[in-house]
Amino acid sequence: MGSSLPLLTDAELQALEQRAHNAAANPPPHLLEQRQAGEVPSRYRGAGLDYAESRPYQPGDEPRYFDWRVTARTGKPYTKQFREERRPAVFILLDRRSRMRFGTRVRLKAAQAARVAALVAFAALQQGWAVSGMVLETQPHWMPASTDSHAIWEFVRHAAAACPPVSAYAEPSLASILPLLAPQLVRGVHVYLLSDFADLDNACEPHLLQLLQHHPLFAVQVLDAVECALPDAGMLALQGLDGGQPHRINLADAHLRDTFRQQAAALHDGQEQRLRGWGCSYTRLLAEVDAPEHSVPLPHGMGT
């Protein structure tokens, strides 16, 4: 399943850029709060600009950082340590695999996820944060970290481009992609996972826990309304993504609809509990919602 039409037009992206600016300037109090944008002091020690502390000298320490004053006072060799400065950054993983190309109201799940990716990227850009990411398809597209507006716009346009046809090759699973993220990221990068999490399983757990050791992680689960509750639409013929024989289903059956609603709620609540239990910030977002910036935490700075 592919389309020649983009998920979002340039005009829609420009409108999202303005909305990201408004949301970042006036964030709801319960959403993401971070330090002042730009280079900020880090808790990690290294060879930065700001003196942090002195510690006993160890073989291999650079002589230029020798702390003569403390050494003279204590009678033991000491060396200076400095606080590294690191620019706040976000990494966006945007799921555009075949299951995300589904929608019954207003837009596809992939289009809603692309809107969230654009809002996050534009909010980060306006705050001076670096942006990196990956568009998850059969052939994933990576974007290296950048604060350049042209590079970030190129990534957002790729996220909003028309979905390619479903390939005969197997799509990568979430569990196979997650272990590739940690080596690409420096400590403290805010990681956004935008997906329906249809293939969230036990194999994902160790990789998410590894990410959570060093990164704030924001899971945004994008769902279509029909995945939560079936409409009373009478007899329908439904066909799966595999192109097999269609199945006839009577949606006028109230018992069937109620059973589906309960099973869907159990599935999605279970996914939420797992993600929250592992330590992720979690947002459930329907594809039809017009203002995701009201519920999804966006990067923004705080006054010092």
| pLDDT tens-digit series, residues 82-93 | 665 567 899 999
pTM: 0.80
When pLDDT is averaged across residues 145-150 and rounded to a whole number, the result is 95
Q: Could you please report the per-residue DSSP string of 231-276?
A: ----EEEE--TT----EEEETT-HHHHHHHHHHHHHHHHHHHHHHH
Averaged pLDDT, 90-114:
95
The residue with greater pLDDT, 21 or 100, is 100
CB 178 within 8 A of CB 207: yes
Which pLDDT tens digit goes with each residue over 249-294? 888 999 999 999 999 999 999 999 999 999 999 999 999 999 999 9
| pLDDT band of 33, cuts 50, 70, 90 | very low
Check pLDDT > 70 for residue 97: yes
The torsion defined by the Cα of 153, 159, 162 and 164, in degrees rounded to 10, comes to 130
The residue written with tokens 């109090």 in the block is 29
Q: For 10-36+87-294, which CATH superfamily applies?
A: von Willebrand factor, type A domain (3.40.50.410)
**Dihedrals phi, psi of 249, to nearest 5 degrees:** -140, 135
- pLDDT on residue 213: 94
3-class DSSP state for residue 43?
strand
Instruction: Say if CB 192 and CB 93 are below 8 A apart.
Output: yes
3-state DSSP call for residue 136?
Answer: strand
Confidence at residue 47, expressed as pLDDT on a 0 to 100 scale: 44
Give residue 28's pLDDT band: very low, low, confident or very high (50, 70, 90): low
pLDDT given at position 26: 72
Domain boundaries, the chain: 10-36+87-294, 42-85
95: nearest Cα among 219, 209, 230, 234: 219
